[in-house]
Chain A
Amino acid sequence: MRGATRLTWAVGCATAVTLAAAGCGGGGGGGAAAGSSAGVVRAFWTDPQNPLEPSNTNEVQGGKVLEMTFRGLKRYNPDTGKAENAVAESVKTDDQQNFDIRLKKGWKFSDGSPVTAKSFVDAWNYGALVTNKQVNSYFFEYIDGYDDVHPEDENAKPKAQKMSGLKVTGKHSFKVKLNQKFSLWPDTLGYAAFSPLPEKFFTDHAAWLKKPIGNGPYKIDSYTQGQSMRLSVNEKYAGPDKPKNKGVELKVYTDQNTGYTDLQAGNLDVFDELPAGQLKNAERDLDGRYINQPAGLLQTLSFPLYKKEWQTEKAKQVRRGLSMAINRDEVARKIYHGTRKPASELTSPVIKKSGGYKPGMCGKTCTYDPKKAKKLIEEAGGLPGGKISITSNVDTGSHRQWMDAVCNSINNVLDKSDACSVNPVPTFGEFRKDIADKKLKSLFRTGWQMDYPLIQNFLQPLYYTGASSNDTGYSDKRVDSLIDQANESGEQEAVKKFQEAEQIVLEDLPAIPLWYQDGNAGYSDRVSDVRLNPFSVPVFTDIRVK
């Protein structure tokens, strides 16, 4: 009998739970839709990877917030990608190395404190100092004294706390000395890493991180990490692009497909990370409320030039042959449904022709020509070692699919079934480690997301001898000297010199240009005027809510 009573108790308990569940159910239903108020844009978000400090944010999700809450000296025009003065009144130089910067008066942070020269200098010093562990600290590497605050050696301690090249000369002016001539440097200042920071960032860092304060068109009302962020219009904003809506609510989604379903159901307004599987349906599903715009992202296929067999003249001919054996157009259409465009040079359409983008510079080398490809490779004595492999991480971006397609394309050209094989690496971290350790013996994927829309950014970090992202180990004296000359000359001249350098790189072909990646987004019928800036971040200030 004893056991029986216990069983009764258990059943009773289960019933109680059900009743409680049903009871709560009545009150909680429909709460999701009622949460947002009129005039507010509801946008897709995922948790930013790093804390939301400007010099520690290097991906789109954190970038979204910074674009809304901060304005630096310059801002990239969302349409043209040109760097235009924002907080800066003027940036002047006579020798391409010493810059005089004057700020506009009247700019304020959303907490009411003024934006001064010190706000910039302190922020940049913070970003550069190695012990602050900021992933974007390399942005400050051209400023004189960077080596003292951020020594290259892993174990070295910083010799100084501040960069000697930064000098505050007045409340609204400061001087910058670079450690080399760099004529396009003022145009790099639109990147979020160069944002000013308020006093509070330094005095109460923990509180600032919980609710960042900036000088941009929006201010943060509430921020629940991993769930949502609500932003409203910053009344103290001094810039010209005042928001055309009442605010933005960023909602964290666990999965892109859920975001897409929510967009279709009308619970989400702006969605900028369409899942790859939906790309071919998006235009129809959303009744044309779908945008596809060039982004500053180029995918290339790199060769391990640090290996002997890839250094010879014959290997160069093989590289050209391989480039001609890839049917870029078909991959872009069939696998990416037009969200990638075949690349014919090493920059990106977002920098525009005035900025150095020159379609077709690669010429025949980047055009699919199976007969010529086969001839070139065979004349050069075939592939080094008889076969090649392509390595990439396969956790994102449909990399596995295009690698298979490219390999098939190469195998068909060479009439062999095993000339090219795919070597998938499970995670991005592992793949990067293999690249950093120079472990890869054959071709590998390299993607480049621009830091700022300048031709310099597509060449110098990648192909200058010993540069930070020169993964192929490419080194050419002519290229180095042309890049140096470009940095010393005025803006117009600089672009030409960079293009000359690019031409040489394309002839040597340390990396095969594959395709330009587009940014895409969908939006609900509740909003209009949605577009993306050159970094594929939605321009929230322009969005109108019906």
Chain B
Amino acid sequence: MGRYVVRRLLQMVPVFAGTTFLIFVMVYAVGDPVNAMFGERAPDPATAAQLRAEFNLDKPVWQQYLLYMADIFTGDFGNAFNGQPVTQLMSTAFPVTLRLALIAIVIEIIFGIALGVVTGLRRGRPVDSSVLMMTLIVISVPTFVTGTLVQYVLGVKWGWIAPAVSPAAPVGELLLPGVVLALLSLAYVTRLTRASISENSRADYVRTALAKGLPRSRVTVRHLLRNSLIPVVTFLGTDVGNLMAGALVTERIFNIQGVGFQLWQGIVRQNSPTVVGFVTILVIVFLLANLIVDLLYAVLDPRIRYA
């Protein structure tokens, strides 16, 4: 187990270097950010040259990349173009998004798995078909529609909530955005659980357990559910990364100043230090989430062993 983890961690190094380099090159290829800082006028060449020198933009790409990576290893992610250190942006943005992602994951796990088990055990019944219909609707309606609609109805029409989340983003205000963010994955979790439950419910070991005289609830939770959760765990693992990075739409709708918003603003303003810095952290999140998922397999299925 220990050796497996070490091997996996070592494998992350080239992946990390490769992804960050690609992102660096892509951000660089978009064009010269200094031009955009001058608004609708031609930049004054002398000032522009000074600014380029400050952000190392006057050097070739590979050299910029090396300088950037060297700084990262000392914990310095550079400054955004408005002079704010990127680490400072991260320290405000990541906790907010993490809270939002956790809320979404918890909602997915509780409701998604519960609905999946119920529908999986009652295949073809009215409950099953209606839940399936609902997941279909949720999957086909994009987040910005549900988000804006919920926000308008609850925030403006009925006045139950404040449409915009305050900068501190307390958990209470994040509940509704969390639900909106969770909806899509919730539908997938429901469908995945349902498929795998209904498949496993006819397996030999379930029949054996029932034949032994075990109570049905115990068979469902201990035997059936545990074996059916492997594909769901895989999905949830990758979803952690997706929720952290992909909350962009939800964050913009509800005015949540998290990772997605900072990334979006970085892209619009061609603020390469922000974009590369945040994506670098996200890459690490993705890699670790995948590792944890692989380790969880062993917990769920005793047949899987890592050496």
Contact = CB atoms under 8 A, between A and B. Distances in A.
Interface residues of A, number: 78
B102 interface: yes
Interface string A133-155: 11101100000000000111111
Contacts of A267: 162-164
Interface stretch (A30-38, A89-97, A235-243): A30-38
Nearest to A226: B257
A265 B159 contact: yes
A261 B163 contact: yes
A24 B270 contact: no
A261 B151 contact: yes
B173 interface: yes
A130 B299 CA distance: 62
B268 A395 contact: yes
Nearest to B248: A254
A29 interface: yes
Interface stretch (A338-346, A432-440, A495-503): A432-440
Interface string A417-458: 000000000111110110110000000001111000000000
Contacts of A150: 44, 46-47
A29 B255 CA distance: 16
A448 B255 contact: no
Contacts of B165: 32
A33 B148 CA distance: 20
Contacts of B92: 226-227
A77 interface: no
A50 interface: yes
A111 interface: no
A55 to B, nearest CB: 11
B32 interface: yes
A138 B44 contact: yes
A209 B171 contact: no
B109 A436 contact: no
Contact of A154 (B33, B38, B49, B172): B49
Contact of B89 (A7, A24, A226, A261): A226
A254 B83 contact: no
A291 interface: no
Nearest to A9: B299
A130 B47 contact: yes
Contacts of A227: 92, 167, 257
Contacts of B175: 21, 25
A254 B151 CA distance: 15
A225 B87 CA distance: 13
A6 B110 contact: no
Contacts of B106: 14, 17-18, 21
Nearest to B40: A447
B3 interface: no
A328 B134 CA distance: 48
A436 B166 contact: no
B211 interface: no
20 contacts: A6-B299, A7-B299, A14-B109, A21-B175, A31-B168, A32-B162, A32-B166, A49-B269, A155-B49, A226-B84, A226-B257, A227-B92, A255-B253, A258-B253, A265-B162, A267-B163, A426-B30, A428-B36, A429-B33, A432-B35
Give the top 9 A-B pairs by smallest Cβ distance, nearest first. Answer: A28-B170, A28-B172, A430-B31, A429-B36, A227-B167, A25-B172, A24-B171, A154-B49, A432-B35
Interface of B: 30-51, 54, 81-84, 88-89, 92, 102-103, 106, 109-110, 148, 151-152, 155-156, 159, 162-168, 170-173, 175, 222, 226, 251-257, 261, 264-265, 268-270, 299-300, 302
